């Protein structure tokens, strides 16, 4: 009887090799718990990002629509004041204002906002500027030089609606006190005949001293020859 020269391996080895061979030849399954969790996390992050963008877009549209409605509710004088503030600080007269121009234009209307809030307005309602294309050649590595992102500018129409919404929401007393400050030169806390003369001169009104003194006397409740803040508020609120 012929005998085999090959060694006979115990069954436990052949069984183990069979298992190893079967597992190595089987297709890999990428739907493992770890892979699936990572995929679902990425999908959830993307879905949250898109949802946040949708909410921001809807909020911008709501604010602009509300501002359009409130712009129509303002007086003609208030609407002119908004446009005048914009044009005064639109230095290049392109019907768009940048961060610095927006800050001073809003301050002129009585809204002294912090830097972060000004940036937030531009991020939500601004449009990118159109910078000139870079004229610099490519660097030795063949890459274009770094170009900073374009500035954000606020158009006149957006400025009008945003300011209309803020003016509409402002406390009437704040508006009165702002008017008081325009009369009260030097911040002394009262309006004198000299203040009325200055304002009348700036407005081109030819009022006589007797008329101005009569105005002070009519509303001077405590007889100190001037109109205080409280007296001025009482006059305006009737």
**What are the residue ranges spanned by the domains of the chain?**
48-129+150-170, 173-237
What topology is assigned to 173-237 in CATH?
Recoverin; domain 1 (1.10.238)
pTM of the model: 0.53
Q: Can you give the pLDDT of all 238 residues of the chain as single tens digits? A: 444 455 554 454 444 444 444 444 445 554 555 545 576 787 888 777 777 767 766 666 666 666 567 787 888 988 999 999 999 999 888 999 999 999 999 998 889 899 999 999 999 999 998 755 555 555 555 566 656 667 899 999 999 999 998 888 888 888 888 889 989 988 999 999 999 999 888 888 888 889 989 989 988 888 899 999 999 998 888 7
Q: For 210, what's the count of Cα atoms within 13 Å in the CB-facing half-sphere? A: 0
What topology is assigned to 48-129+150-170 in CATH?
Recoverin; domain 1 (1.10.238)
Asked whether the domain spanning 173-237 has the same topology as the one spanning 48-129+150-170, the reply is yes
């Amino acid at each position: 009887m012929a005998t085999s020269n090959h060694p006979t391996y115990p069954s436990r080895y052949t069984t183990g090799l069979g298992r190893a061979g079967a597992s190595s030849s089987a297709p890999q399954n990428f739907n493992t718990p770890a892979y699936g969790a990572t995929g679902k996390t990425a999908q959830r992050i993307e879905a949250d990002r898109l949802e946040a963008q949708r909410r921001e877009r809807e909020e911008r549209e709501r604010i602009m629509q509300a501002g359009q409605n409130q712009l129509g509710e303002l007086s003609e004088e208030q609407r002119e004041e908004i446009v005048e503030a914009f044009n005064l600080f639109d230095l290049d007269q392109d019907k768009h204002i940048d961060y610095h121009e927006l800050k001073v234009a809003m301050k002129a209307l009585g809204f002294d906002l912090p830097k972060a809030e000004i940036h937030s307005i531009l991020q939500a309602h601004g449009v990118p500027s159109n910078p000139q294309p870079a004229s610099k050649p490519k660097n030795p590595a063949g890459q274009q030089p770094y170009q900073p992102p374009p500035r954000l500018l606020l158009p006149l129409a957006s400025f009008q609606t945003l300011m209309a919404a803020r003016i509409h929401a402002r406390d009437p007393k704040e508006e009165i006190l702002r008017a008081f400050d325009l009369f009260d030169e030097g911040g002394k806390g009262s309006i004198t005949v000299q203040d009325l003369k200055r304002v009348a001169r700036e407005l081109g009104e030819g009022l006589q001293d007797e008329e101005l003194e009569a105005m002070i006397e009519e509303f001077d409740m405590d007889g100190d020859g001037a109109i205080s803040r409280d007296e001025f508020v009482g006059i305006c609120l009737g």
